[in-house]
Amino acid sequence: MSYDIYSQVQMMKAVLGLEDGTVIKGTGFGAESTACGELVFTTQFTGYEEALTDPSYKGQILMFTYPLIGNYGVSGERFQSDNIHLEGLVLREACKKPYHYKSTRSIHKFLEDEGKAGIEGVDTRMLTIKAREHGTMRAALITGSDDGDEAVDMARNFPQVTDKELIASVTCKEPCFIPGASGTWKGSSRPKHAVVVDLGIKRNIINNLHKRRIDLTLVPASTKAKEIAGYEPDLLFISNGPGNPENATDAINAVKAFAGTIPVCGISFGNQIISLAMGARTYKLKFGHRGGNQPIKDIIENKIFISSQNHGYAVDADSLEGTGLYVKYLNANDKTVEGVSHKDLDIFSVQFHPEAMDTEEAFFGKVVKALGGGL
């Protein structure tokens, strides 16, 4: 194919400022703009299309630890939503001339089209070590300028993400029905139906539920339990999403309303929300888990596997006592909770993203079982 589409790349001055006063100057790409948010890092080296379009990154400036991003371009086939949701992008090097037969534009053009700012030429290793030592910090990215003092001031004046309402900007605006893949369930005269509380759901989650012949009704994050009941669901699903799980009050109340009446399950943000609804507590991690190489231990079956993750909060294991929930999965690195199940009720959730790795059957197979059966 011709690579004329990559010949015009807009480069400019750029600066990244952190709330601790750190100033990093580099080369800007994408749109001439400003971005504020938490500076977080991911260890993945492929899957940048998925990461950029993951609604869970709303409110964050994403930094890749892998030194070269964009080498296979942007095709759009693996988008997790319609748009880029992260606030800005920080890279060591952004590939200017990607090589892949499905690529239609470079990562530079993708950010430009979406009005998002990017910076390259950054010592991402140094910034990653800083985040691991001192924790996640607020940051500001400016392209078209290298005024470090302005960037630091913007970072310091930006509200803490724990206080920001992010869910409303990524949830669906109105209910949406998605029929499951064709086929019938054994022993059932009708398709199984799940109501999905959309807090910023990824398409791969929808696809995994769809291909298992489950009819889905996606509802906005503000949907009340009474409205959900009107859809007569066989299962309640709580999706991934951005920000502080304590802000998802309607989703928490929905879990409380349906716990013990129908199966309730969730992924990532959903794991935290289900735990809160059952009486547990959550807390903000020092620098979070983001990437495709997080080791998980199934403490019930005594197995280790590798998972994909994107979260900045975790469930407090000590707070599970008295809730009926028990720890099913632990992070093998830092022993944080990676999934819970209920001792008596059909309630289960995972903190990692099973739809992104070869761990999908362990979770979605359990969803099918909770719905009664076999395909």
Over residues 111-141, the pLDDT tens digits come to 999 999 999 999 999 999 999 999 999 999 9
User: In terms of C-beta density within 10 A (0-12 exposed, 13-18 middle, 19 or more buried), how is residue 189 classed?
Assistant: exposed
- Specify if 359 maps to a domain: yes
Task: Report the mean per-residue pLDDT for the chain.
Answer: 94
Burial 191-207 (b: 16+ CB within 10 A, else e): bbbbbbbbbbbbbbbbe
The answer on 249 and 131 residing in a single domain is no
Over residues 60-118, the pLDDT tens digits come to: 999 999 999 999 999 999 999 999 999 999 999 999 999 999 999 999 999 999 999 99
Residue range 306-326: mean pLDDT, rounded: 97
- Give yes or no for a contact between 33 and 63, defined as CB atoms under 8 angstroms apart: no
Over residues 240-252, the pLDDT tens digits come to: 999 999 999 999 9
The answer on 258 and 114 residing in a single domain is no
The answer on 149 and 18 residing in a single domain is yes
- Specify if 84 maps to a domain: yes
Instruction: Give residue 3's pLDDT.
Output: 37
With a cut of 70, say whether residue 6 has pLDDT above it.
Answer: no
d(CA 114, CA 331) in angstroms, rounded, equals 35
User: In terms of C-beta density within 10 A (0-12 exposed, 13-18 middle, 19 or more buried), how is residue 171 classed?
Assistant: buried
The answer on 319 and 247 residing in a single domain is yes
Instruction: Give residue 305's pLDDT.
Output: 94
With a cut of 80, say whether residue 357 has pLDDT above it.
Answer: no
Instruction: Give residue 106's pLDDT.
Output: 96
Domain ends where: 101, 130, 164? 164
10 CB-side CA count, 13 A: 18
Number of domains the chain is built from: 2
Instruction: Give residue 9's pLDDT.
Output: 65
Within 10 A of 321 (CB to CB), how many other CB atoms are there?
11
What single-letter DSSP state applies at residue 284? E
Domain at 200, CATH number: 3.40.50.880
Burial 124-157 (b: 16+ CB within 10 A, else e): beebbebbeeeebbbbbbbbbebbbeebbebbee
With a cut of 70, say whether residue 335 has pLDDT above it.
Answer: yes
- Give yes or no for a contact between 143 and 118, defined as CB atoms under 8 angstroms apart: yes
With a cut of 60, say whether residue 169 has pLDDT above it.
Answer: yes
Instruction: Give residue 137's pLDDT.
Output: 97
With a cut of 70, say whether residue 227 has pLDDT above it.
Answer: yes
- Give yes or no for a contact between 330 and 304, defined as CB atoms under 8 angstroms apart: no
With a cut of 80, say whether residue 151 has pLDDT above it.
Answer: yes
Range(s) of the domain holding residue 180: 168-370
Domain ends where: 115, 141, 164? 164
The answer on 172 and 160 residing in a single domain is no
Can you give the pTM of this predicted structure? 0.95
Query: What is the phi-psi region of residue 288: left when phi exceeds 0, alpha when psi lies from -120 to 50, beta otherwise?
Result: left
- Give yes or no for a contact between 23 and 148, defined as CB atoms under 8 angstroms apart: yes
What single-letter DSSP state applies at residue 301? T
Over residues 249-275, the pLDDT tens digits come to: 999 999 999 999 999 999 999 999 999
Tokens in use for 154?
């913007």
Label residue 1 by pLDDT band (50, 70, 90). very low
The answer on 338 and 268 residing in a single domain is yes
Of the chain, the percentage scoring pLDDT greater than 70 comes to 95
The answer on 180 and 153 residing in a single domain is no
- Specify if 265 maps to a domain: yes
- Specify if 375 maps to a domain: no
Position with higher pLDDT, 163 vs 124: 124
The answer on 173 and 67 residing in a single domain is no
Over residues 28-72, the pLDDT tens digits come to: 999 999 999 999 999 999 999 999 999 999 999 999 999 999 999
With a cut of 80, say whether residue 338 has pLDDT above it.
Answer: yes
d(CA 216, CA 84) in angstroms, rounded, equals 24
Label residue 7 by pLDDT band (50, 70, 90). low
d(CA 280, CA 259) in angstroms, rounded, equals 14
d(CA 280, CA 315) in angstroms, rounded, equals 7
Instruction: Using alpha carbons, select from 261, 153, 175 the residue that is nearest to residue 220.
Output: 175
Instruction: Give residue 372's pLDDT.
Output: 87
Instruction: Give residue 374's pLDDT.
Output: 62
Instruction: Give residue 191's pLDDT.
Output: 85
Tokens in use for 248?
């998802």
Full DSSP string of 207-260? HHHHTTTEEEEEE-TT--HHHHHTT--SEEEE---SS-GGG-HHHHHHHHHHBT
Instruction: Give residue 189's pLDDT.
Output: 63
The answer on 90 and 8 residing in a single domain is yes
- Specify if 53 maps to a domain: yes
Tokens in use for 365?
């197979």
Domain at 63, CATH number: 3.50.30.20
Amino acid letter at 150? E
Instruction: Give residue 161's pLDDT.
Output: 84
Position with higher pLDDT, 11 vs 350: 350
**Cα 46 to Cα 68, 219, 348, distances in angstroms:** 10, 31, 29
Position with higher pLDDT, 310 vs 188: 310
The answer on 316 and 300 residing in a single domain is yes
- 360: helix, coil or strand? helix
The answer on 316 and 234 residing in a single domain is yes
Domain ends where: 131, 164, 197? 164
Over residues 264-305, the pLDDT tens digits come to: 999 999 999 999 999 999 999 999 999 999 999 999 999 999
The answer on 242 and 173 residing in a single domain is yes
